[in-house]
Chain A
Amino acid sequence: MVAALALSAQGWAQEPATKGPEQTTTADDGAFVFSESELDMSEESDVSQDVIQITSSTNMYASNISYTFSPMWFRFRGLDQRYSDTYMNGVLVNSAESGSFGFSPSLGGLNDAYNRSGDYSSPFETNTYGVSALGGSNNYNFRASNYARGNKITLSGTNRNYRARAIYSYGTGLNEKGWAFFGTVGYRWANEGYVEGTFYNSLSYFLSLQKVINDRHSLSLSTWGTPTERAQAGLSTDEAYWLANDYQYNPYWGYQDGKKRNSRIVQTFEPSALLTWDYQIKDNLKLTTTLYGKYGMDSRTRLQYNNSQNPKPDYWKSFPSYNYNVWGDTPATADEFAAWQESYDYWTASKANRQMQWDKFYYANQQMNAVQGDAAYYMLARHSNQLAFHLGSTLSWDIDRYSKFQAGIQLASNKGMHYQTLTDMLGAENLHNVNNYAIGTYAGSDSRVQYDLTNPNGNVGVGDRFGYDYNIIVQKATAWAQYTRDKGISHSFISAKIGGTQMWRDGKMQNGLFADNSLGKSGTARFLDGGFKMGTNLNLGKGHVIGMGVTYMTNAPHASAYGSSAFQCAEMNNNFIDGLKVEHMAGAELGYAVNLSWMRANLTGYFMHGTRLNEWQNYYYDDVNSFTYVSMTGAEKNYYGVELGVKFKVTSAFSIDLLGSMAEAKYMKNTDVSYLLSTQGTVTKETLYNKGMRENGTPLTVGSVALNYNVRGWWFTLKGNYYDRIYLSYAPSLRYESTLIRNGAVDNDGSFIVPEQAKGHGGFMLDGSIGHQFRIAHNPLSVNLMLTNILNNRKMVNRGWEQSRSNYTTDQSTGEKSSIRTYDFQKNPMKCYVQGFNFMLNLNYRF
């Protein structure tokens, strides 16, 4: 299978991108809460450098990209994670709610369980478990008999997100009575990780038992989980990094009683279980059936404030440039300069000044207690718990020497429980379940300001749910089939699938703004999706192969995913998005591979065209003075590019690897947008001028040269990587038709002048590694030292987003600009800089 790129369906080296209130940046928490507070407070930045999955054994490019380019969060073909499918023992485990599989919360730290148990297939490669996804598919074999017999201890030291790691694994192999067991436990820890104010605390366990009953039947049971608690790092602007003199400045923490307290604590735990029945019906006929169940818990804390000034240390009004437009042409007046200097001096005088001021939050709450008022500051947690059951059953039939047939069904049922709790009152005595953002538009005594009309003005205590509470239920069923045939020099396949999805919301609070459609069940939305894929490889002989494939697929909308939602605003009401449709994706690929004694190479070109794409975000939109929930429907995108991977074997000890990709991933036409105002519950529809905007958070141009040398059991690698065309997430609100008109952004021909999308710096990074295998007591001890960013190039940006705020205020009665702000949001995008020099030392002993 050659045209083929195999790649890891799951493990882009980092934690998956997630959904975040401001832009479709990266944040795994759903979206909610309103006001500029949220906008400013809510971006998540999961700077989690986690698992690296090495991939295909057949394709030079695919086998190296996820590891090589991981520091810059490279995504295969710029595709979102939900275009990759993850299977376990043949059952598809992508979340029915979000469409993607969360690798880290499920399998993080379980390296010995998932390493070498994957079966990857590229978008146009066949496999034995399903129709390969556009971003590739992977099937883990978690049967105990799959693991080697013996003990293994791994000890690691690093200066990345965690400092230390220990893993112990034991496998029995299959014994004479047909039993096999494999277990692994691991622990990853950092009192403080690479970024100041972060910690990491993660346990992982995996237990698997298998009984081969006879030649025909085998049962396998696995259960695992990785309870993890970690503190997050937040993105900020270049001005903040400059003032702090630190590219890793983290605004999320502050001192409390002299200790560093982080406001963003993530806790995840997904206890999961897998039960598999393998049934060899005949020699050439096999049925594999697997039931997967999990209860996933995910909570993310944040500091919230009530009706007062944003306490974020890097809030825009706290910057020196709030006092004087340093980007403008006008020299500062004496007063402006003095104010700038005062702010600069405050930022730079002490570290505590530019971090969160916990003492002030407690003091403020004490003041509020004295007047029987609600907490001014408090900690909340946003929860997303998922109860999921998936069943996959696959029949494999080897018809004859040349043809094979597979068919299967995949069923999934998911109940997503989304709610918010109060986690710490920071010394306050009162908090009521009232929507402060609607107060003003409505009087405090108006029922529309209530978050829950079934318990108006409810007192909220620690642990209580408030703000929102709803379930999303999604049920999916898919049937698929695939036929492969070898004839002459060709190997060809055709596969197809058809599926149905139904989903609904079940509200647990009666939101005052939507009294009639927030409590209880929504209507049920049903979607039919499916499509086909076909391809062929032609073996031209002497190691040369040409491969090609085409596909057309439709995908049901995701109920609630990163950057995509079927619901207008699940936190407030039962409404589905207006104009919600199944997405269409068409794709084609042409590849050439050569496999000679001195060289292996792959050259691939691909093209994909997506239509009727649904996207969803939420953010504060200045021009309407409201937090908004934003649905974008009917988006069109093209993804195309070329990929090259070459390995030259110069001598038996020395080889050179070349990798490169030039990709494009962009919107092809403007999109319909509608946004719901959190302050009054009304919806506005208009056009979003996003044509030409590009996929963000991944370099679209990458290149790498690696030198590999091994001698007498030592091996050395030196690798130079180049990254370019890194786009930041564009802010839709700057490109609404109404915004462009307000700004007079129209040229002489009457066309809109749409702001250019902000970019991050790319650049060059040098990595290296050195390894050796020793023997101790006749057992192998592997030592491996990996060095990343050896030249300590800290100026490279791997992701970020434009600020959606406006540089002016808007008169709400006329819609005209009413005043110009000194601070320039568009000159201050939020950026995440790469980690500087970092390393990982691994010791690995088998006995």
Chain B
Amino acid sequence: MRKPSYYLHLTSVIAAAMMTFAACMDGDWDTPDLSNPPYGNNAIVEDAGKQVTIEQLKQTYASVINASSMAQITDDLQLKATVIGNDIGGNIYKQICIQDATGAMIVGINATGLFPFLSVGQQILINLKDLYIGGYGQQPQLGDLYNGSIGRMSASKWEQHVKVLPTHDQSQIDTIDFYSVAQSDMNRYCGYLVCLKDVQIGDAGSKLAPEYTTGTTLTYNGSSNGYVHHTLGSESMNKLVLRTSTYADFASWEIPSTPVTIYGIATRYRDTWQILIRAEDDIKE
């Protein structure tokens, strides 16, 4: 009989060999091919002949937008635009904001967590046929019919109507100076990404949108539907407000007593500018 140490050695060698053999089964996974994005409808074919601009759409449907009404788009049209705002900060909710060289508008989609699929700077192509267009407080918006006015479309309908294009470029977005350019022409610039330089936010020292305010009456210069409004500069609140959701990630940000620079989406509600910031770093102290 061989010595026990022989078997110790032998078994160790077998164990070592099997250890090598029993390599990791959950291996390294390579990044999949994303040339056909796994979001949206890749079957939509870009057709220059069908394309309209936001300005053309706004002109065509000016009457329903101004009446805060809606209409279904029946023509086979396409819109090419760039995402300028989404729900990354929890302030813009179930909407994305898009802009092209001629104008900007809002798309209502009944889904949360849109930002990882439609990040700012992403160019998209929207197949407009069968979608609804209308005005919400005269803010132009794409979506679906909801109780006789313009509402959100379902996430699946949206994915049927959108194609993610290869271009992603934040630098192509025009950021308009609010005071010198946008403020004076609401019809043209509503929905744009704007910049307000050196502006004092009202209620310095308070939170931007204090927690637990849903269902209660806010004292912070007026509010509605879980949003809190603050003045900007010396403008009256029926002209211009900073509008922030109590659910925004930055709702607890404390308003400083010195002026700041704000980037945000300049939406309108009738004749009031409502500035929506997208994330905390849209405010530069």
Interface residues of A (CB under 8 A from B): 144, 168, 170, 172, 175, 179-181, 183-185, 187, 189, 199, 201-203, 205, 207, 209, 227, 229, 231, 256-257, 261-262, 265, 307-309, 339, 342, 346, 357-360, 362-368, 370-371, 373, 376-377, 424, 427, 439-446, 811-814, 818
Question: CB of B37 within 8 A of chain A?
Answer: yes
A60 CB to closest chain B CB (Å) equals 38
Question: What B residues does A256 contact at CB under 8 A?
Answer: 29, 32
Closest to A180 in B: B4
**Cβ of B236 under 8 Å from chain A:** no
Question: How far in angstroms is the closest Cβ of chain A from B66?
Answer: 28
CA A144 to CA B5, docked complex, whole Å = 12
Given known A203-B22, A207-B8, A371-B121, contact A813–B213 (CB-CB < 8 A): yes
Number of interface residues of B (CB under 8 A): 59
Q: What would be 6 A-B contacts, judged by CB atoms less than 8 Å apart? A: A183-B10, A203-B22, A207-B8, A362-B31, A365-B116, A441-B211
Within B1-44, the residues touching A (CB, 8 Å) are: 1, 3-5, 7-8, 10-12, 14-15, 18-19, 21-22, 24-26, 29-34, 37-39
Q: Report whether A368 and B119 are in contact in the complex, using a CB–CB cutoff of 8 Å.
A: yes
Interface residue? B118 (CB, 8 A):
yes
> When A168-B14, A209-B8, A440-B249 are in contact, do A308 and B32 touch as well, CB less than 8 Å?
no
A444 touches B18 (CB 8 A): no
Asked if B215 contacts A441 (CB within 8 A), the reply is no
Q: A227-B19, A443-B252 are in contact. Are A307 and B211 (CB under 8 A)?
A: no
Nearest opposing residue in chain A for B22, CB measure: A203
Q: Is the CB of B280 within 8 A of A370?
A: no
- The reply to whether the CB of B247 lies closer than 8 angstroms to some CB of chain A is yes
**CA A658 – CA B27 in complex, angstroms?**
48
A335 CB to nearest chain B CB (Å): 10
Chain B, range 66-101, C-beta contacts under 8 Å to A: 88, 90
Q: How far is the CB of A471 from chain B (nearest CB, A)?
A: 27
Among A179, A183, A227, A359, the residue within 8 A (CB) of B34 is: A359
Separation of A183 and B254 alpha carbons in the complex (Å): 67
Give the chain A neighbours of B10 by CB distance below 8 A. 183
Contact: A818 with B115, CB < 8 Å?
no
* A381 → B minimal CB distance (Å): 11
Q: Which chain B positions have C-beta within 8 A of A202?
A: 22
Residues of B within 8 A of A231 (CB): 26
Interface string of B209-234 (1 = CB under 8 A from A): 00111111000000000000000000
* Given A172-B1, A201-B22, A444-B249, also A183-B88 (CB < 8 A): no
> In the assembly, what is the distance between CA of A187 and CA of B213, in Å?
60
A273 to chain B, nearest CB (A): 14
State how many angstroms separate the Cβ of B169 from the closest Cβ of chain A.
8
Among residues of B, the one whose C-beta sits closest to the C-beta of A205 is B15
Q: In the bound complex, what is the Cα–Cα distance between A187 and B29 (angstroms)?
A: 25
Instruction: Assess the A187–B38 pair: CB atoms within 8 A.
Output: no
| B-chain residues with CB within 8 Å of residue A199 when the two chains form the complex | 25-26
* Residue numbers in A under 8 Å from B37 (CB-CB): 363
Nearest CB on B from A187, distance (A): 6
B179 lies within 8 A of chain A by Cβ = no
Instruction: Spell out B's residues near A (CB within 8 Å).
Output: 1, 3-5, 7-8, 10-12, 14-15, 18-19, 21-22, 24-26, 29-34, 37-39, 88, 90, 111-113, 115-122, 154, 156, 168, 170, 211-216, 247-254, 280
A439: which B residues are within 8 A, CB to CB?
249
| Complex partner residue of A371 from B5, B7, B170, CB under 8 angstroms | B170
Q: Is the CB of B38 within 8 A of A440?
A: no
Q: Are B154 and A813 in contact (CB under 8 A)?
A: no
Can you name the residue of chain A whose Cβ is closest to the Cβ of B169? A370
Q: A205, A261, A309, A444: which contacts B112 (Cβ < 8 A)?
A: A309
In Å, the complex CA distance between A172 and B2 comes to 9
Q: How far is the CA of A65 from the CA of B21 in the complex (A)?
A: 37
Contact of B30 among A168, A205, A257, A370 (CB under 8 A): A257
Distance in angstroms between the alpha carbons of A485 and B118 in the assembled complex: 79
Known contacts A360-B38, A363-B39, A342 near B156 by CB under 8 Å: yes
Nearest CB in chain B to that of A816: its residue: B215
> In the complex, what distance in Å separates the CA atom of A254 from the CA atom of B5?
48
* Interchain CB contact under 8 A, A363 and B34: yes
A358→B26 CA distance, assembly (Å): 15
Beyond A185-B14, A818-B215, is A229–B25 a contact (Cβ under 8 Å)?
Answer: yes
A440 to B89, CA, bound (A): 9
> Is A445's CB under 8 angstroms from B280's CB?
yes
Contacts of A367 on B, CB cut-off 8 Å? 115-119, 122, 168
Q: How far is the CA of A205 from the CA of B3 in the complex (A)?
A: 20
A244 to B41 alpha-carbon distance, docked (Å):
25
Q: Which 6 A-B pairs have the closest CB atoms?
A: A309-B113, A181-B4, A364-B116, A183-B11, A376-B116, A308-B113
- Residues of A within 8 Å of B14, CB to CB, are 168, 185
- Which B residues are in CB contact (< 8 Å) with A189? 22
Chain B residues whose C-beta falls within 8 Å of the C-beta of A424 in the assembled complex:
29
Kindly state the separation between the CA atoms of A199 and B22 in the bound complex, as whole angstroms.
Answer: 13
Which residue from chain B places its CB closest to the CB of A301 in the assembled complex?
Answer: B26
Kindly list 18 other residue pairs between chains A and B, CB separation below 8 angstroms, not including A181-B5, A370-B122.
A179-B4, A181-B7, A207-B8, A262-B26, A308-B113, A309-B111, A309-B113, A342-B154, A346-B156, A360-B38, A367-B116, A376-B116, A427-B31, A445-B280, A446-B252, A811-B215, A812-B212, A814-B215
- A183: chain B residues within 8 A (beta carbon): 7-8, 10-11
Cβ–Cβ contact A371 & B248, under 8 A:
no
A440 shortest CB reach to chain B, Å: 5
**Shortest Cβ distance from residue B175 to the other chain A in the assembled complex, whole angstroms:** 15
The CA of A180 and the CA of B1, in the complex, are separated in Å by 12
Q: Which residues of chain B are within 8 angstroms of A261 by Cβ–Cβ distance?
A: 26, 29
For the complex, give the distance between the alpha carbons of A818 and B113 in Å: 23
How far, in whole Å, are A357 and B39 apart by their CA atoms in the complex? 11
Verify A445–B253 contact, CB threshold 8 A. yes
Bound-complex Cα distance A27 to B129 (A)? 50
How far apart are the CA atoms of A179 and B5 in the complex, in Å? 9
* A440 touching B8, Cβ below 8 Å: no
**Residues of chain A contacted by B12 (CB below 8 angstroms):** 207
Residue from the set A231, A265, A441, A443 with the largest chain B CB neighbour count within 10 Å: A443
